[in-house]
Amino acid sequence: HTWFLSIIQDEFRTGKIDLDSTMRLLEKFQMPFDFTHVKHVFRKTVDKRKTHTITIEDFRAIYRSIVHRHEFQELFRVYAPERKILTATELIEFLRKEQYQTEDCETTALEIILKYEPIEEVRKRRQLSFEGFIRYMSSEECSILKNDHRTIYQDMNHPLCDYFISSSHNTYLISDQLIGPSDLWGYTSALLKGCRCLEIDCWDGSDNEPVVYHGHTLTSKITFNSVIQVIDKYAFVVSDYPLVLSLENHCSPKQQEVMADYLESILGDKLLTSTIGGTEVTQLPSPEALKFKILVKNKKVGTIEESMLRRELDSHGETGEISDCEYLSDEDETDDKAPIYPKSGAVKRKIEYKPPATPRKKTKMKKIKIAIPLSDLVIYTKSQKFVSFEHSLINQKCYENNSIGETRARRFVKHAAKEFVSHTSRFITRIYPKGTRTNSSNYNPQEFWNVGCQMVALNFQTLGVQMELQNGKFLDNGGCGYILKPEFLRNQNSTFSPYNVGRYSKPMSLSIKLISGHQLPPSNLSKTNKADPLVQIEIYGVPEDQAKKKSSVVKSNALSPRWDETFSFAIQVPELALIRFCVQDEISLVANEFLGQYTLPLLSLNKG
């Protein structure tokens, strides 16, 4: 009581306090309070008396109704019968039985008491009051995400192709793909979310200044220079590991040189301009070896060895040519970049690219001119046209990467999953959304992670389940944007297929008890703080692990709904599985409204 009074008594010197003062005072307790819920509980208290202020006793009642959750009280009483405190011994028993902790329980118990017990005399006696217990139970330590997965814990010394890499598509767009704005915020925001592969669409601009925008559309333009300045500023704020700039290059050789100059002058030492160690590259370097480095992904003239020999020479004004064979019905790059508006002429017509139904056949060799200064900045991430898995196996070098459109990639997943896994165990493979997704919608990234694709590029500006899976997957390993692929997706002799996991299965049974919710967002239909919440638990992974289970609906309670329901799942390939919790408000028998979500890798789930 004295602890509680010592915090609040100054506020009540004048007798009573209003809603704003109540909110300010609650913040002193360093607990999460939702304004909507506090406002509602406050109103219920004052409405009885037709005033706008509350007494010190009212405040205590409001505090208790929000903070002293029944489910915490029930749990606390099991370990502290008849008493107001947990001794260190009782806390240790709680850690063993409820939190499944097996080692260092004594140390952990002491750390919990010293960190979370707010009442000094209880803390001095090395005990935990109910107030301390609440604070521990509401802390990060009791988060469903394993504590050690919040930091980098994986081996970062494997070659780059052994990792899933957080990747963004058309990073400069913050809305749709046709008429929306291009904005530097697209880059800042993706980097702050831990993204490690950004896309930059470059076109010739006026006054020899290359610009970035979605070509042949009405999206606005930003200068290449300003994009590189922003990248320089935010590249390593969230992660120390290498950042790849995937250039979609439509510039003339003259403006490509300008791009090369900007990359070198703005990024300075951060830009990787030569190989690490020897010039002969037989294996990609690791994220660890490339820390704080920015890599350019673009088409390249010749080999790394040749560009290393040119390093000391001035190659300004020099260009090289690349022959690129185009396939008529290959939607790999043609479909995605088909002009959505005609380039010239005021004829009003919609141009649609429909791939012919004929089998893939070679049509023409396309010559692409590349400025040597830009080409020489491409070291470990050389863009290489994808022909076939067989062709790559025979001809492709380890530093050559492929980009494959989602439609074609999906066909491979369906009809050639083992070959796809074999390919991604050797070469970095980037998947990108099909060109018809003009509203910036996303595909489900899980099906491409299942076959080991490293760079599964999504439209970061578009919220939804797909981006939620991306965010959930990359929570792992400290949110650094690199996640070590499971061994069966790294091993070049693997015969893994997501459709027939066979000997690669490590079955796991998962049991989740859904206990309660607390301070959930109220329904849009509610004038107070009510909702009719239900929880859907979803598993994403290989096809046979996909599952969805729903809780019952708790009527008109968003402050403290109780479910006490248990759900069980059998998982075959836990290494690839994600679990998503989605809370919805039942607004009618046929419709639910989204309230909130949280996704994380199955193997990052904390027990207890």
Residues 367 and 453 in one domain: yes
The pLDDT value recorded for residue 326 is 52
Amino acid in position 70? H
Residues 436 and 289 in one domain: yes
Residue pair 517/560 in contact by the 8 Å Cβ criterion = yes
Is 68 tagged catalytic? Answer: no
State yes or no: pLDDT of 569 exceeds 60: yes
Annotated catalytic residue, options 37, 158, 214, 423: 214
The residue out of 431, 456, 489 marking a domain boundary is 489
The residue out of 142, 175, 203 marking a domain boundary is 142
For 337-373, write each residue's pLDDT tens digit. 433 333 333 333 333 333 334 344 455 678 899 999 9
The pLDDT value recorded for residue 443 is 97
Q: Is 357 domain-assigned?
A: no
Find the CATH number of the domain harbouring 539. 2.60.40.150
Annotated catalytic residue, options 37, 40, 149, 169: 169
Residue pair 264/294 in contact by the 8 Å Cβ criterion = no
Residues 88 and 5 in one domain: yes
Residues 210 and 118 in one domain: no
**Which DSSP string corresponds to 255-276?**
HHHHHHHHHHHHHGGGB--S-S
For 133-186, write each residue's pLDDT tens digit. 999 999 999 999 999 999 999 999 999 999 999 999 999 988 889 888 889 999
Q: Which two tokens stand for residue 74?
A: 């029930």
State yes or no: pLDDT of 391 exceeds 70: yes
Q: For tokens 């490690």, what's the residue?
A: 196
The pLDDT value recorded for residue 362 is 54
Distance in angstroms (rounded) separating the CA atoms of residues 158 and 163: 8
The residue out of 81, 116, 142 marking a domain boundary is 142
How many Cβ atoms are within 10 Å of 438's Cβ, its own excluded?
14
The pLDDT value recorded for residue 355 is 39
Q: Is 130 domain-assigned?
A: yes
Distance in angstroms (rounded) separating the CA atoms of residues 448 and 602: 18
Confidence of residue 333 (pLDDT cuts 50, 70, 90): very low
pTM of the prediction? Answer: 0.91
The pLDDT value recorded for residue 328 is 39
Main-chain dihedrals φ then ψ at residue 306, nearest 5 degrees: -65, -40
Is 37 tagged catalytic? Answer: no
Find the CATH number of the domain harbouring 445. 3.20.20.190
The pLDDT value recorded for residue 325 is 66
Q: Is 81 domain-assigned?
A: yes
Distance in angstroms (rounded) separating the CA atoms of residues 344 and 323: 27
Lowest mean pLDDT among 303-307, 575-579, 594-598: 303-307
Of 144, 108, 145, nearest to 477 by C-alpha is 145
Instruction: Name the DSSP class of 344.
Output: S
Residue pair 171/190 in contact by the 8 Å Cβ criterion = yes
Mean pLDDT of 240-254: 97
Pairing of strands 294-297, 243-249: parallel
Q: For tokens 């050389």, what's the residue?
A: 382
State yes or no: pLDDT of 608 exceeds 90: yes
Mean pLDDT of 388-417: 97
User: b vs e for 33-42, b when ≥16 Cβ sit within 10 Å of the residue's Cβ?
Assistant: bbebbbebbb
Residue by residue, what is the 3-state secondary structure of 36-66? HHHHHHHHHHHHCCCCCCECHHHHHHHHHHH
State yes or no: pLDDT of 527 exceeds 60: yes
Residues 13 and 135 in one domain: yes
Q: Is 550 domain-assigned?
A: yes
Residues 256 and 182 in one domain: yes
The pLDDT value recorded for residue 342 is 36
The pLDDT value recorded for residue 47 is 86
Residues 466 and 525 in one domain: no
Q: Which residues are within 8 A (CB) of 381 and not within 5 positions of it... i.e. 6 or more apart?
A: 244, 246, 295, 296, 297, 298, 399, 401, 428
Q: Is 124 domain-assigned?
A: yes
Q: Is 328 domain-assigned?
A: no
The pLDDT value recorded for residue 338 is 39
Handedness of CA 599, 481, 333, 349 (dihedral sign): positive
The pLDDT value recorded for residue 49 is 81
Residues 259 and 367 in one domain: yes
The pLDDT value recorded for residue 386 is 97
Residue 401, domain extent: 160-306+363-489
The pLDDT value recorded for residue 590 is 87
The pLDDT value recorded for residue 27 is 94
- Quote the mean pLDDT of the chain: 92
Residue pair 518/69 in contact by the 8 Å Cβ criterion = yes
Distance in angstroms (rounded) separating the CA atoms of residues 322 and 276: 26
**Which DSSP string corresponds to 506-551?**
--EEEEEEEEE--SPPPPTT-SSS---EEEEEEEESSGGG-EEEE-
Residues 124 and 168 in one domain: no
Mean pLDDT of 239-261: 97
For 447-494, write each residue's pLDDT tens digit. 999 999 999 999 999 999 999 999 999 999 999 999 999 999 999 999
State yes or no: pLDDT of 81 exceeds 90: no
Q: Is 138 domain-assigned?
A: yes
Residues 132 and 224 in one domain: no
Q: Express as a percent the part of the chain with pLDDT over 70.
A: 93
Of 81, 89, 294, 56, nearest to 196 by C-alpha is 294
Q: Which residues are within 8 A (CB) of 311 and not within 5 positions of it... i.e. 6 or more apart?
A: 273, 274, 376
Residues 173 and 284 in one domain: yes
Confidence of residue 277 (pLDDT cuts 50, 70, 90): confident
Residues 554 and 468 in one domain: no
Find the CATH number of the domain harbouring 135. 1.10.238.10
Mean pLDDT of 86-101: 96
Lowest mean pLDDT among 177-186, 377-386, 484-493, 569-578: 177-186
For 25-48, write each residue's pLDDT tens digit. 999 998 999 999 999 999 999 987
The pLDDT value recorded for residue 54 is 95
Q: Give the total number of structural domains in the chain.
A: 3
Confidence of residue 280 (pLDDT cuts 50, 70, 90): confident
Q: Is 148 domain-assigned?
A: no
